[in-house]
Structure 1
Amino acid sequence: MQKSKKMLPLVAAMLMAVSGFVKAQDVQERKPVVMGQVNLTFYVASAAVVREVLERLGHNLTVVEGNHREIYAKLGNQEVDMLVASWLPHAHGPLQAPIADQLVEAATLYEDARLYWSVPAHVPVSAVRTIDDLKKPDVHARMEKDIVGVGPGSGLMVGSTAIMQQYGLEAAGYTLRVAPPQDWAKKLADASGSGKWIVMPLWQPQYLNAVYPVRVLEDPRGIFGTDRAVVVVRKETWNALPEHTRKVLSRVHLGIPAVTELERQIVVDGKEPQRVAREWMETNAQTVSAWFED
Structure 2
Amino acid sequence: MSVQPFEPTVTVGNIALSFHRAAAAVTRRVLEAHGHRVNSVEAPHEQMFRLQEDGDVDVLVSAWLPSSHGTYLSHYRDRVRVLTPHYRPYCVWAVPPHVPAEAVREVADLARPEVAERMTTAIRGINPGAGISRFSARIVAEYGLDRLGYSFTPGTETDFVARVEQGIADQEWFVVPLWRPQYLNRLHGLRALEEPKGLLGTVDDASPVISWEALDRIHPDAVARLDGLALGNDGVEEIDALINVDGLTPLQAADRFLTAHPELLAAVSGHTASVSPRGPVSGDE
What TM-score do the two structures reach when normalised by structure 2?
A: 0.90
How many positions carry a matched residue from both structures? 270
> Of the candidates 217, 221, 227, which is equivalent to residue 244 of structure 1?
221
1:83 is paired with a residue whose SS is strand
1:228-256 Cα deviation digits (max 9, x unpaired): 11001111212332322222221222111
Q: Report the AA paired with residue 191 of structure 1.
A: G
Distance 1:292 1:197, change over 3 A: farther
Q: Which residue of 2 aligns with 1:88?
A: 65
Partner of 1:73: 50
CA shift for structure 1 position 138: 0.7
Give 1 or 2: higher strand fraction: 1
Structure 1 residues 37-46 or 177-186, which shifts more? Answer: 177-186
Return the structure number with greater helix share: 1
Q: Decide which of 19, 22, 31 is 1:45's aligned counterpart.
A: 22
Following superposition of structure 1 onto structure 2, how do residues 124-163 of structure 1 map, counting pairs within 5 Å?
A: 124-163=100-139
How far apart are the structure 1 equivalents of 2:264 and 2:172? 43
CA pair 185-290 structure 1, distance change in 2 beyond 3 A: same
Q: For residues 292 and 282 of structure 1, what CA distance do their matches in structure 2 show? A: 22
CA shift in 2, pair 1:38/1:287, >3 Å: closer
Question: In 1, Cα distance between the equivalents of 2:52 and 2:189?
Answer: 36
1:7 matched to which residue of 2?
A: none
Deviations 1:97-127 (A, max 9, x none): 112111111232112x111100111111121
Structure 1 runs of 4+ aligned residues shifted over 4 Å read 290-293
**Using a 3 Å threshold, how does the CA distance of structure 1 residues 291 and 42 change in structure 2: closer, same or farther?**
farther
Q: Equivalent of 1:190, from 146, 166, 174?
A: 166
Aligned match of 1:273 in 250, 262, 275?
A: 250
CA deviations on 1:241-289 (whole Å, 9 max, x unpaired) are 2322222221222111111110101011111211211121121123422
**Seq. identity, %:** 33
In 2, are the aligned partners of 1:135 and 1:172 still within 8 Å (CA)? yes
- The residue aligned with 2:175 is 199
- Rounded to whole Å, the distance in 1 between the matches of 2:134 and 2:175 is 16
| Structure 2 Cα separation of the partners of residues 65 and 246 of structure 1 | 21
5+ long unaligned stretches in structure 2: 272-285
SS at match of 1:108: coil
Query: Which residue of 2 is the match for residue 253 of structure 1?
Result: 230
Q: Is the 8 A contact 2:104 2:110 kept in 1?
A: yes
Structure number, greater radius of gyration: 1
RMSD: 1.8
